[in-house]
Amino acid sequence: MSSDVATQSPPVYLTALTTMRGVAALWVVFFHMDVILFYRDFGHLMPLGDSGLVAKGYLWVDFFFLLSGFIIYHIYGGQFSRNVTGRTLVNFIWGRFSRIYPLHLFTLAVLIGFSSLLPLFLPSVVDDSWTLYFDTAALPSNLLLTNAMNQHSYLSWNIVSWSIGAEWWAYMGGMLLLVLLGRRSLVVTSGVMGLAAIFLVGLVYSRAEPTLDITFDRGFFRCLFDFTIGVGLYQFYRRSVAFAWLKKDTVFLGLFLAVVAHFHGNWHDLWIIPLFSMMILALAYNRDLVARCLAWTPLHYLGKISYSVYLMHGVWFMVFWFLLPLWASAPFSPLDRLHFGSAFLGLTLMSAALTYPLIEVRSRRYLRQKFTFPRSSLAKEKI
């Protein structure tokens, strides 16, 4: 294999990473199912005991952030490593805006409609959580994607969209990272990644409970530090660092099992960052059995619609949060949990299968037609 895997023409389509993004999105869905049941006094989704297999699902958001930095360089790194012009910046900003904002705006509009109409028919749903989740004072920060910058003391509207806001502003800082790291040695890159890791540790330990479950308050910084590590990680990928070892199926499987063990054993959250980083490299390098399995059409499709899965499950979170107490009573039997989980998951996947082509893809194509994008940048953006 070439000593610089990222300079091949045409660039490699990293199918396995797309699929793993779908797996990550699904894991976050199960995490939020459990949140609904637990905080609405229905118990847990499954009898977990001391396991964090579901309860630690919020850590997959860090996988998204790391992967985002990695993929942003994969798509745009070549442009930023050359002469950066105003057009380069416009292409980048408009490309990212058209990728994330239309679906975010759609889910926000759906929840505005939901919060306006439901009390007319079921006034009993309005409780303390209603006034927090659907606080009109939080609408501007959701519209401007500043909902991960400590503007409010709670999650609001589509509660998962804080990560979209965090990622959007990380993109703005990411433009500088793409320029600075593009032609640097691995020593400089490692130094930048090390600084990001130190800042991330400081962020975690600045909190009363030292975890990575940082959302509406300082979620932007959580994303920025992860994103920076992801951009740096790509410099290792493009130079094929540890390729001979990480490309092996057994190495990826070992890393994935280590991630599962991390979740199950409730290890400290920060250990997930190196595990996810190595797993991203392993998936990017792999061309054998793991890659073929992850290219299976249903799994790959899940990866393609993962952004819709992620945002739409935030809508269904609100629906079940407020309506489940009206439909059911505690305690939940195993069959009740199965029915709840099947309904939540089924509705999420079906709605995502609709919003992906009708909102996400269609809006992105329409908005990008308003500007002339280099064909190469559009062709690469499949992940």
Share of the chain above pLDDT 90, in %: 59
Dump pLDDT digits (tens) for 29-51.
999 999 999 888 888 777 666 77
Across the chain, mean pLDDT equals: 87
317 pLDDT more than 70: yes
Residue 7 CB coordination number (10 Å) = 11
Cβ neighbours of residue 355 under 8 Å, at least 6 residues apart? 103, 106, 308, 311, 312
What are phi and psi for residue 180, nearest 5 degrees? -70, -40
Under DSSP, is residue 28 helix (H, G, I), strand (E, B) or coil? helix
Residues in the chain, overall count: 383
- SS3 category, 305: coil
How big is the CA angle at 232 (ends 226 and 236), to the nearest 5 degrees? 130
354 CB neighbour count, 10 Å cutoff = 13
Residue ranges with strand state E in 230-317:
none
Rounded distance, CA 375 to CA 290, Å? 31
**What pLDDT, on the 0 to 100 scale, is given for residue 175?**
80
C-beta neighbour count of 336 within 10 angstroms? 16
Look up residue 382 and give its two tokens.
């499949």
| CA atoms of 75 and 359, how far apart (whole Å) | 22
The confidence score (pLDDT) of residue 373 equals 55
CA angle 365, 368, 372 (to 5 degrees): 135
Q: Give yes or no for a contact between 229 and 276, defined as CB atoms under 8 angstroms apart.
A: no
Distance CA 266, CA 107 (A): 33
Residue 270: is its pLDDT beyond 80? yes
Count of H-run helices and E-run strands, the chain: 17, 0
Instruction: Please provide the DSSP assignment of 133-160 as one string.
Output: HT-GGGHHHHHTT-TTSSSSSS--SSGG
- Binning the chain into helix, strand and coil, the percentages to the nearest 5 are 75, 0, 25
For the whole model, what pTM was predicted? 0.89
Secondary element (H or E) of residue 218: none
Element (H, E) at 254: helix 249-265
**What pLDDT, on the 0 to 100 scale, is given for residue 347?**
97
Average pLDDT rounded to a whole number, residues 92-115: 94
Average the pLDDT over 234-239 and give the result. Answer: 90
Q: Place 139 in a pLDDT band, splitting at 50, 70 and 90.
A: very high
Percentage of the chain with pLDDT > 70? 91
